[in-house]
A and B are shown apart, each in its own frame.
Chain A
Amino acid sequence: MDSGAGESIADGVARQLDPRWIPVQRIHAAISFAVICSASFVGLIAIWIASRMLAAGLLLLPVWAAAVAALAWHLYRWPAVTYRFASYRIDEQGLEILRGVYWRTITSIPRSRVQHTDVSQGPLERRYGLGTLVVYTAGTQHSQVKLPGLDFTVARRIRAHLLPGDEGDAV
């Protein structure tokens, strides 16, 4: 959780995302897992029957189970791993986002380049009181930069800080 509403959020200190982001992502992962699981199971059965190798086909089942188990373990573990490697930092200059486990990226979005911002909330995020900050720039490759997994009020405070017109542009 973040510090009180009194102090400025633009203190140049690297912050982690909200820890509640991990369960939210796990639920998202569980939904896609269920879809993948059932679809691949149906496909497996279809292949098994179509191939008419009923005895040999039985061997497929443990292979499938192992693959699914590995996927489940990965999907359960992954949100916590990405959480460790994601952080953001806000100072007078703007917003800096660090992320990526294997492919790591630092992106700097100066305040003076922010065109507009969104704070969006999906149904799950709303339940957990989280929000996604989307920062739009005039750029081409990074014309929108998303920062998910923020406490909703924090996201709105960052937005308020980034919005142009507040205490004048950094010229």
Chain B
Amino acid sequence: MPSDHRLHPTSILFAMAGGLKAFLLPAIILLLTTGRSSRAPSGSRGLGPGPWMSGWMPGDVEIANWQFWFLLFLIPSALVAVARYLSFRLQYEGTELVIRSGIIFRNERHVPYARIQNLDAVRSIAHRLLGVAEVRVETGGGQAPEATISVLHDTVFEEMRRRIFEGRARVVQGDVRGDAARTDTPAPTVAVVEPRTLLYLPPRELLLNGVIDNRGMVLVAAVYGLAWQAGLFRDVWGRLARGAFGPDFVRETMLMLAAGGVPSLTRIAVVLAGIVALLLLVRVLSMAWSWIRLHEFRLSRVGEDLRTQYGLLTHVTTTVPLRRVQMLTIRETPLQRLVKRMSLRVETAGGHGHGAPENGPKQPREWLAPLVRRDAVPALVREVLPGMELSALQWQPLHPRAFQRGLKPAALIAVATTAPMVGLLGVRGLLVLPFTLAWLGVVTWKQVQHMQWAATEDAVAFRSGWLWRHVTVAPVVKIQTVSCNESPFDRRATMATLQVDTAGGGPHRITIPYLARETAKTLYDRLATQTAQTAFRW
């Protein structure tokens, strides 16, 4: 059995852990908080042999009935996990990966190497201690990964990557024509290609990324929720409520402000200090998060693939073949602009699923480059989309009257937000209107100014956003459909919206609004013709 692989035996454990994860946290918390029988015995709740089981437990740990049933529910999932482990076979055949699974319902899945969009490996701490990895194979079809293989031994994964890479090189060599994404010579078939580092994030950059990225709040919320569950806060809040800085303090301050009164200086100071402390805490947490999550982030080019590796606790390796890049998006947030950094992501056809894949936690694809110096971006773009010169793009503005068009919905929004204020504060609420109008006017003006498009021989690009800026580039070979939409308002102003659809999803798409109708039509015809003249290759 030279090319026949099974799952790693620990996959049974991981499969069960995966099933458990959903209720694991509440279970632990309940065990911690109510398990010690300091209160009335909970065994009387519900049916089951809980009290009887408790007799067998060491110490004063009490097994409630729900805990017993909970354990019982584990049995089917354990059986499934064992069956999966026993039946799973992985084989490399000529140009495809063959995955066999199932005992009663046999399933044999053939995944041609040439169709594989990307190959990811995720290693959590547990995975790494045991030297295994969860592998995801994504092809273009569907929303979930084509195959989530949990878990394989590291050496097996390495072999899989080598074989898929080799197999693909062989397939690619077979038919080279018609692929604009590949301009270099085909990768040598067997020779091991030296990885070339395109981007490495030292700790300093990671901490900077943490400061810029706003992940801290998520962590605070999670920690707070956890602590709340564990009952840690009951005491704290109780003390706060009795003292000067309880929830009443906040409420009183709000009331005072609403009544038009001026709070005392100490009040202001306390509130400000609280806010500053919270913001600092959030940023520090965010820095820690970034440092742990993206530890030793390295983006490298291995032959015709882009490989990213990162993570201190959960180690992630992703491999994206260059020719699979459907769309490229560059993002610049206000804070990033301040420190002259940008981030870059690529969309592939796989992995834009709605919701989580069937098994395994949701793992949204990270940015290809979470933080790049602004002056290094063009080189990186050239690397990802060969022949793409960002500086050579000739950006075209929208229709001259686009601002007037955009102003109308903005005015509606302003009125809609003022209405409740009038209801709340009476006529004085109307004072809000000029401010919202002015603000939305400025935003609309800036947004329209920053919305621009560009089309070249082999790509179309769209950029938008005033504070949060995005630039998206789609190669013509990757365009699927082009459409030109006209709403009744568009028609009155002889404008149109151009929409370019690619196989890659993502947060920023190429949908260009407020174009002059002739411009839109010209661009539409041009893109449709260009697209039709190229062959799409996954």
Q: Which residues of A contact B (CB under 8 A)?
A: 93-94, 96, 100, 102-113, 137-142, 145, 169-171
Contact = CB atoms under 8 A, between A and B. Distances in A.
Given A140-B352, A140-B504, A142-B480, A110 B178 contact: no
A108 B483 contact: yes
Nearest to A111: B532
Nearest to B488: A102
Interface residues of B, number: 34
Nearest to A91: B532
B536 interface: yes
Nearest to B497: A105
Contact of A140 (B178, B502, B531, B535): B502
A140 B483 contact: no
Contacts of A108: 481-483, 524, 527-528, 531-532
Nearest to B482: A108
B532 A140 contact: no
Given A106-B524, A139-B502, A170 B536 contact: no
Given A93-B528, A171-B178, A171-B535, A142 B483 contact: yes
Nearest to A96: B528
Given A96-B528, A139-B502, A170 B535 contact: yes
A118 to B, nearest CB: 16
5 contacts: A100-B486, A137-B481, A137-B501, A139-B501, A171-B177
B312 interface: no
The 5 A-B pairs with the shortest beta carbon distances in the complex, nearest first, are: A139-B480, A93-B532, A110-B532, A139-B501, A108-B528
A135 to B, nearest CB: 9
Given A106-B483, A145-B481, A138 B349 contact: yes
Indicate the member of A100, A110, A169 with the most B CB atoms within 10 Å: A110
B283 interface: no
A138 B350 CA distance: 10
A37 to B, nearest CB: 29
B499 interface: yes
Contacts of A169: 535
Contacts of B538: 138
Contacts of B485: 103-106
A102 B503 contact: no
Contacts of B528: 93-94, 96, 108, 110
Contacts of A140: 352, 501-505
Given A105-B484, A112-B532, 20 more contacts: A93-B533, A94-B532, A103-B488, A105-B486, A107-B482, A108-B481, A108-B482, A108-B483, A108-B524, A108-B527, A108-B532, A137-B501, A138-B349, A139-B503, A140-B502, A140-B504, A142-B483, A142-B501, A145-B481, A169-B535
Contacts of A112: 531-532, 534-536
Contacts of B482: 107-108
Nearest to A105: B485
